[in-house]
Structure 1
Amino acid sequence: MATIVEKTSSGIIYKASQQRDFPQLDLLSLLFDSSACGAKEDTVVHADAADPSKAVSKAQLRHLVKRLAYTLRQRYGIGQDGPEKDVVLCISSGHFLLPCLFYSTIAAGAIFSASSPASTATELAGQIKQIGAKLVLCNEDTKEVAAAAAKLANIPGSRVLVLGSQPHLELTNLEQSRPIPISTKTLEWQRITDTKALENSIICILFSSGTTGLPKMCRLSHTNMVSQACLVLDPAREYEKARGRDMSADYRTIAHLPAAHIAGVQGYFVNSFYVGGTLYWMPRFNLVKFLEYSKKYQITTLVSVPPIYLAIAKSPLVTDQFDSVEWAVAGAAPMGKELQLAARKNLGKGKAHLTQTWGLSETTGAMTTMPRGIDDETGSVSMLVMNGRARIVDDDGKDVEPGQAGELWVKGPNVTKGYYMNDAANKEAFVDGWFCTGDIGLFKDGKFYIVDRKKELIKYKGLQVAPAELEALLVSHAKIADAAVIGVDGEETEVPRAYVVAGDATLKAEEIVDWVASKVANHKKLRGGVVFIDAIPKSPSGKILRKELRQLAKRIDKGSKL
């Protein structure tokens, strides 16, 4: 699955050395009916990490999905006017039956959407209105926010369903405490095998971060989600089979990231099920509990984000909890090679494979992945997934030579067809069928490297400084627990400033500035200084909230001028 480079009349194209077919099936048929799915009928596919007696097998889940789909259709009219007419919006913390809500929504013929469990009532109400949700789903942890949002969005309480904490599926609504009867009758989902229908369907819509204006709504189809699972996981399964191992039997992992983002929706609802192992659900990330469950269930696979790998590398609480881990992947943001190596020492007794992936909601998750059997210690984000293509272009949209940095443009069956009800965003995001990712990267020695988000680059006297590069360097310092970098005004230009969480009380700002200066080019020095803070603000999915740091910088700089 190496990435090859082709210089063509239309540009420099990067693509996987191998292409492969994947099942032309709708998502539910892939998971519940197809022999391609690794889960057996009695496989426990979802379980509660705190109480594993709360669990559901593939066979139980299939029947439950059909019953709930019937209830959604008959009681709430979901899908009665045809497929893709209705949107069901979910806001929930982690729950072992949360995937059932996802599958049932699709089975009823509707579009599933999700809001971060950290959303405020105002934010959730805005999303309800923006997407035109016909029904809101929540759980006990998010009930208050959902109720307040529904009131703001003029959604009746009878159309806000609350998932209970019982070991069986139980739903109530805001207007009655009695459980809503889940029909014993079943509704069969629409089986689809037509390639065009699969490509053009919409089964899931995810909100972008919305750093400017209203959040964009990313459309995902059956093809997007099926291809993502098959093209990434089938080669891994074949690799293990060739070595006499059953990937499904050895797969155990923990759902610890929010299921409102692509890592949760694709990773937890689809990929884990498709592999065929057991996924243990936490309501939210808690390091102590995460360590406890990882050891208790002897997890073999870990897919997480850099802040959690930072904790694995640096927390004194981490001892032998990850000794059973064989395969680990980092995503959502680039991770420096120093952190990658440090975290790996605490995974699988130092023998686990820890690689990086790169992708977005718009690529249904991974656009790159490292083939099994290949290790990488250079900090790359691996190689293109099968059937994927990429270009690296300058600000004028012209291809740069391999090894030079530019914006990554991509194509592939996992790439979204566009944004929901947003023609302007689609015109901006696509050029001749290529999706413009907004990420700056380069290709070197057969692998891709991410520099940073295009909009995050600091421009010091015309020279570009990538915050991610400085952050990777900073967290490699023995006395630094965490760090983030932004650009601030200074020297009549933009200069890098570091926000640092000290891991040692003796650490001084001057020590950091001098240490960084000894390791980077002149234009990358921390001319904006160092500010110590208690914690780096991050989104539930682990991305640094630079907007909050910029607001903090304005307050600090304004105060210093008084």
Structure 2
Amino acid sequence: MVAPTKQYLPHKDYNVPNIDILSLIFDSPLAWTNEDTILHAEAADPSNKLTKADTRTLTKRLAHVFRNKFGIGSDGPNKDVVVCISSGQILLASLFYGVVAAGGIYSAASSAFQPGELARQLKQGKSGLLLASVDCKDTAIQAAKECNIPLSKVLVFDSMGHKRMLADVESNTNYLDSKAEMEWPRITDHEELKKSKACLLYSSGTTGPPKGVIVSHLNIVAEGVLPQFMLREYFKREQQKDPSFKFEYRTLAHLPAAHIAGLQGYLINPALAGGPVYWMPKFDFPMFLKYCKEFKITTFFTVPPIYLLIAKSPLVTDQFAHMHHAISGAAPMGRELQTAVQQKMGCYISQTWGLSETTGSVTAMPWDQNDLTGSVSPVLPNTRLRVVDDEENDVEEGQEGELIVQSPVVTQGYFDNEKATKESFTADGLWFKTGDIGLVRDRMFYVVDRKKELIKYKGLQVAPAELEAHLIAHNKILDAAVIGVPAPDGSGNELPRAYVVADKNAISGDEIMKYVKDALASHKQLRGGVIYLDAIPKSPSGKILRRELRDMAKKENRVQGAKL
């Protein structure tokens, strides 16, 4: 007899419409926009902007170009992968929409990629068309040559400084000069929306080769509308308390658009929330602060490393005076940092949790609730979560286990990788295994760490995230990362080692070890020592690249300060 599952449920579910992404954005009343609503603007020059009407026109023109000049979607949808490598550009949303409208699959690539990394993504998706912002042109050309893609199918674009250019490298033809348009197919069948391949997102590859996560129309629509439904109920509650309450959506694009937070947060959410996203080409902290103040930014999603800068930088003064609510994700943020940032910014900071495989958030905090316990919030509407052991049996509430999830935001799997897809779901195929270790208390979810990142010492598990949160709470430690290094006695134990960004003259390694010893249990001590770095290696999305730290550790001739 199969034991019943212990599912954690949201407070409420909503009806997710059976509608494609483009119809949701351009045709549906669920999008709180008018034709003259500004959706995208350049932060350095906000007069360089695109309205909803501009974006609609560009989408249709680009769809015509992709279909009739390059054959995207000519043999049917869900087949042709178009890779796009770009820094922040106001044209990005239209390019994404145009690829989807033509029947193609939009594959987002990091602007930080080297040619070999980009070539790997082109090969993995069997792509024959490459889009690149002008600053990524050289990388794109080298990768195309490695993949035998003709330069006539490398399209370079620029939309900053009032430019409107999409030209192939070979002939330099500007395809944005074309006025011909193509309508996108309206999709209303649930199964077709569920099985579609609108986008491919790639993991950062911190624990292995990146895999292409299939993101469908249903995934993106659900991830777009479910938090919006929650937010709009909050607006109603606030207006009942104060009829003059008004919220104007304004956000700042500062994270990579190749990451799910950038794709969903900049290409989808602004078109539903009814306000502009101001685009920075790349993250620059002083300019980030300047733009937050200049454009009276009211909300944004960002990552713990940036919140750490906000908490510890003397540059931060009144730049967040108009911030109504901010959200953190991509990695757990300790309660000490969350509290410090909340005090510095003067608004609630809530944590969310999700993956590329869940199209972003799986948990979300109502904006009128504040939680400072370090949780990643309650579960999102229409989502079911379980906490299980290694045999996929449910654990008791309050105990740690792997978080597994069912939701319309969950991917159907990995592109051209049936083995990885099967391994990422439970034995019955019904639940996605996130690989994150967490627990539940009072309907709040807590993420301990990645399953593969846990350090094992004398049969006990040590979560690097807990140690990192404690370390960066120290005012003399600017940043930190923790990994396990093999014990020198061959016992098989792993010893926690801290890599810190700090002035060793201001705080010594012994002082850091004592700081941990005074606060945390014996098995969590820094027996692997303390190493000082100029910067913690991180992915463009803000995740610690532990693989690089492990490579550093392997090159060490000895374990510094190691003792049992």
TM-score interval, smaller chain: over 0.9
What TM-score comes out, normalization by structure 2 length? Answer: 0.95
Letter of the 1:494 partner, please give it: E
Superposed displacement of residue 40, structure 1: 1.5
Give me the whole-angstrom Cα distance separating, in 1, the residues matched to 2:529 and 2:407: 43
Question: Structure 1 pair 35/168, CA: closer, same or farther in 2 (3 Å)?
Answer: farther
Give me the whole-angstrom Cα distance separating, in 2, the residues matched to 1:62 and 1:248: 27
Superposed displacement of residue 75, structure 1: 0.9
CA contact (8 A) 2:351 2:375 kept: yes
The equivalences for 1:88-107 within 5 A come to 88-107=82-101
Give me the whole-angstrom Cα distance separating, in 1, the residues matched to 2:534 and 2:13: 48
Give me the whole-angstrom Cα distance separating, in 2, the residues matched to 1:14 and 1:233: 21
Superposed displacement of residue 17, structure 1: 2.6
Q: Which runs of 4+ in 1 moved over 4 A?
A: 245-249, 558-561
Match of residue 11 from structure 1: 5
Question: Structure 1 pair 205/247, CA: closer, same or farther in 2 (3 Å)?
Answer: farther
CA contact (8 A) 1:356 1:370 kept: yes
Give me the whole-angstrom Cα distance separating, in 2, the residues matched to 1:49 and 1:304: 17
Match of residue 126 from structure 2: 132
Letter of the 1:31 partner, please give it: I
Give me the whole-angstrom Cα distance separating, in 2, the residues matched to 1:419 and 1:59: 34
Asked if 1:478 is matched to 2:472, the reply is no
Give me the whole-angstrom Cα distance separating, in 2, the residues matched to 1:49 and 1:388: 36
Superposed displacement of residue 243, structure 1: 2.4
Superposed displacement of residue 249, structure 1: 5.6
CA contact (8 A) 1:392 1:409 kept: yes
Q: Residue by residue, what CA displacement relative to the aligned partner does 1:345-398 show, whole Å, maximum 9, x if unpaired? A: 121xx2x11100000001000000001211101010001100100110011111
Give me the whole-angstrom Cα distance separating, in 2, the residues matched to 1:136 and 1:178: 15
Question: Structure 1 pair 206/548, CA: closer, same or farther in 2 (3 Å)?
Answer: same
Match of residue 221 from structure 2: 226
Match of residue 70 from structure 1: 64
Match of residue 171 from structure 1: 166
Structure 2, unaligned runs of 5 or more: none
Give me the whole-angstrom Cα distance separating, in 2, the residues matched to 1:339 and 1:104: 40
Letter of the 2:451 partner, please give it: K
Give me the whole-angstrom Cα distance separating, in 1, the residues matched to 2:442 and 2:272: 32
CA contact (8 A) 2:206 2:546 kept: no
Match of residue 435 from structure 1: 432
Match of residue 5 from structure 1: none
Give me the whole-angstrom Cα distance separating, in 1, the residues matched to 2:141 and 2:133: 11
The equivalences for 1:339-418 within 5 A come to 339-347=337-345, 350=346, 352-418=347-413
Root-mean-square deviation over aligned CA pairs: 1.7
Match of residue 139 from structure 2: 145
CA contact (8 A) 2:528 2:559 kept: no
SS of 2:149 mapped into structure 1: coil
Letter of the 1:509 partner, please give it: G
Q: Residue by residue, what CA displacement relative to the aligned partner does 1:259-307 show, whole Å, maximum 9, x if unpaired? A: 0010011111111221111100001111011011111101010210000
Residue range with higher mean Cα deviation, 64-73 or 210-219: 210-219
Match of residue 516 from structure 2: 516
* Length, aligned pairs only: 551
Match of residue 209 from structure 1: 204
Asked if 1:460 is matched to 2:454, the reply is no
Superposed displacement of residue 84, structure 1: 1.2
Give me the whole-angstrom Cα distance separating, in 2, the residues matched to 1:215 and 1:398: 29
Question: Structure 1 pair 381/181, CA: closer, same or farther in 2 (3 Å)?
Answer: closer
Asked if 1:22 is matched to 2:13, the reply is no
Match of residue 287 from structure 2: 289
SS of 1:441 mapped into structure 2: strand
Question: Structure 1 pair 84/369, CA: closer, same or farther in 2 (3 Å)?
Answer: same
Residue identity (%): 53
CA contact (8 A) 1:272 1:278 kept: yes
Question: Structure 1 pair 247/74, CA: closer, same or farther in 2 (3 Å)?
Answer: farther
Superposed displacement of residue 506, structure 1: 1.6
Give me the whole-angstrom Cα distance separating, in 2, the residues matched to 1:503 and 1:418: 45
What TM-score comes out, normalization by structure 1 length? Answer: 0.95
Give me the whole-angstrom Cα distance separating, in 2, the residues matched to 1:196 and 1:94: 33
Match of residue 323 from structure 2: 325
Letter of the 2:383 partner, please give it: G
